[in-house]
Structure 1
Amino acid sequence: MKIYSLSGASGTGKSTSALQFAHEHNIPAIIDDGLLIVNGEKVAGTSAKFEKNTLKAVRRAIFEDESHKDEVIQALKNGQVDAILIIGTSDKMTGKIAKRLQLGEIMTYVHVEDVRTEKEIQMARFIREIQGKHVMPVPYRQVEQNFFKRLIQRGKEIFSTNREKIGETTIVRPDFHQQTITIARSVYLDVIKHVVEKNTIVSRLVHLHFSIVSVPRVVIEIQIAAPVSYYIPDAIKQLQQEIADSFQFHFSIGPEEINVKIVGIETTIR
């Protein structure tokens, strides 16, 4: 069996990237947070995200419980998989899991920075640290909903480059994740309005739509100032960059989308 390791700090998006990485490298099986996932479906194990505190979650993830470990070992033997990806917070952790599951030595070590951009990692941290959401790389229908009292929702479908569906994710908020930061929607809006209103090309902010289902998205409609003695595309790009920089400064994340629509031109006195 070919054994791969994917490691990175908590909340950097390893589970989200795992299905795509496994597909690209012809790896049918994934070990993630105590689960054995084969071809995008949960086959055996119990997720560490079901535990009530962090210590128990870590123990679950590294298969310290004998019955849990034996269940996954047997499923691996029955499935006869030829390659597996082990996910953990460090190379040491994935090595420990490989040893516990009697898989042998890890052949290839990959880190989350190798498969995700800095922006994607920042977005993943935002979802984890601000919203307290954790991603499981298994379909919504396979998650035992009674374990989660506060949040469980569909994540997203994962597709290959040729649009073949290779799996799904589910978003949960485990009981052990108690520390979240609440940022009022009005704070995000105030930041956007401040940037837009101080920009010299903008005469008026006509409409602002802000959504944050998972990560921030911004849609604004503006009237620009006359006379138009500037190159509009460059001016709009500069406005988008100013909004992104302000979000980065205040929230340590840039919006995934910043769409600007010009709806008119008017003369204004500043």
Structure 2
Amino acid sequence: MSFEKVKVYAFVGPSGTGKSYRAQMVASEKGIHFIIDDGLLIKDNEIIAGESAKKAPTKIETVKHALFYEDAEKKPIEKAIKKYKPAKILILGTSDGMVQKIAANLGLPEVSDTTYINQVATEEEMQTARHIRVTEGKHVIPVPTFELKKDFSGYLLDPLQIFKSKGIGQKPYISEKTIMRPTFSYLGKFTISDTVFRQIIEFLATKMPEIYKVVRTRVSSSEIGTSIYMEVVVMYGCNIQETLKEFKEKARREIENLTAMNVISLDVVAKNIYVPGSD
């Protein structure tokens, strides 16, 4: 598949120097809406194709995935490029050779313009980024947290929103990003105890007068997310259907906000009704 009309830009820098953090800025300054970074095709702030290479189990697999060697990784990206017909694409890579390989493997033209990390970041900023990568195993991906939850449940750390003015008379850009720790991180797998979910749920129950208490919580987690089942006792006289709906919405929202986990299902059942004075 060939895309001769696409103008290919590159953003190059060593691993851990802050490329992904600055990708949206570089793209914005060059009028680019499409970015290829670590196996993902990103349009503005939305992932439109691909699966992040950082989900791969080993460092070697991560590199192979990011280069689009396999048809399973390559085809969705090619299909999306064909569908959206971008005029420009920015490819991120650790070297000129890596970016050229990505372009060639996807059938894109040769790189016509390259920006190097030292052109947009100071040595001090790059050293800080390297330190965070080495000591904390954190990576930035230039999309909002919710865009990655399905792929990275259990690995997301912090959402960021970057707002920067580009000067008088120029339109500012807002770039949402997600800090995450990849599956292969030597710092270990990121997990959240079931007790954390129970404590969040029980705390929320104390803030809702219609819920007397939570009597049972069952949590099951998998690679794609977390499923939660709750049994509660509701207060006599409340609208049970509305109470359960409100509690379910609040619980999902708070759990996702506080843990960055992808809640794939959340069920609340009224097991009993509490009548004041019946103790």
Query: Is the contact made by 2:19 and 2:117 (CA closer than 8 Å) also made in structure 1?
Result: yes
Q: 1:150-201 deviations in whole A, cap 9, x for unaligned?
A: 5422123343425634321100011212059xxxxxxxxxxxxxxxxxxxxx
User: Is 1:15 matched with 2:20?
Assistant: yes
Partner of 2:39: 34
Which consecutive residues of structure 1, in runs of 5 or more, have no partner in the other structure?
181-270
Q: Which residue number in structure 1 is paired with residue 159 of structure 2?
A: 154
Question: Does the Cα contact within 8 Å between 1:40 and 1:166 map onto a contact in 2?
Answer: no
| Equivalent in the alignment of 1:202 | none
TM-score, length-scaled by structure 1? 0.63
Equivalent pairs counted in the alignment come to 180
TM-score by length of 2: 0.61
Q: 1:150 and 1:85, CA in 2 relative to 1: closer, same or farther beyond 3 A?
A: closer
CA shift in 2, pair 1:151/1:77, >3 Å: closer
The one-character-per-residue Cα deviations of 1:210-261 (angstroms, maximum 9, x if unpaired) are xxxxxxxxxxxxxxxxxxxxxxxxxxxxxxxxxxxxxxxxxxxxxxxxxxxx
Number of the residue aligned with 2:254: none
Task: Give the Cα–Cα distance (whole angstroms) in 2 for the partners of residues 166 and 65 of structure 1.
Answer: 34
Q: Distance in 2 between matches of 1:75 and 1:146?
A: 18
Specify the alignment match of 1:168 in structure 2: 176
Q: 1:146 to 1:40 in 2, by over 3 A?
A: closer
The AA in structure 2 aligned to 1:178 is Y
1:63 aligns to 2:71 (yes or no): no
Could you say if the C-alpha distance between residues 2 and 166 of structure 1 is closer, same or farther in structure 2, counting changes exceeding 3 Å?
farther
Secondary structure (helix, strand or coil) at the match of 1:107 reads strand
SS in 2 for 1:138: coil
> C-alpha distance in 2, partners of 1:28/1:2?
12
In 1, are the aligned partners of 2:28 and 2:173 still within 8 Å (CA)?
no
**Superposed counterparts of 1:205-220, under 5 Å:** none
User: Counterparts of 1:125 and 1:63 in 2: how far apart (Å)?
Assistant: 25
Is 1:138 the counterpart of 2:159 in the alignment?
A: no
When the two chains are superposed, the root-mean-square deviation of aligned CA atoms in Å is 1.8
Aligned-residue offset at 1:67 = 2.1
Whether contact under 8 Å (2:10, 2:91) holds in the other structure is yes
1:19 Cα deviation (Å)? 0.3
Q: Tell me the percent identity.
A: 41
Distance 1:88 1:142 in 2: 21
The 1:36–1:151 alpha-carbon spacing in structure 2 relative to 1, beyond 3 Å, is: closer
SS at match of 1:144: helix
Q: Aligned equivalents of 1:152 and 1:74: distance in 2? A: 31
**2:133 alignment partner in structure 1:** 128
Instruction: Map Cα deviations across residues 76-96 of structure 1 (whole Å, 9 max, x no partner).
Output: 111111011100110000000
Matched, 1:119 2:127: no
Cα distance between partner residues in 2 of 1:129 and 1:74: 35
- Kindly indicate whether the alpha-carbon contact (under 8 Å) linking 1:148 and 1:175 is maintained by their aligned counterparts in 2: no
Written as runs of structure 1 = structure 2, the 5 A alignment for 1:1-270 is 1-144=6-149, 147-161=152-166, 164-178=172-186
Instruction: Label 1:34 to 1:40 Cα distance change in 2 as closer, same or farther (>3 A).
Output: same
The match for 2:277 is: none
**TM-superposition CA deviations, 1:28-83 (whole Å, max 9, x none):** 11100000011122111110111111011111100112022111011011111101
Contact 1:28/1:39 (8 A) holds in 2:
yes
- Relative to structure 1, the CA distance from residue 134 to residue 102 in structure 2 (aligned partners, 3 Å threshold; closer, same or farther) is same
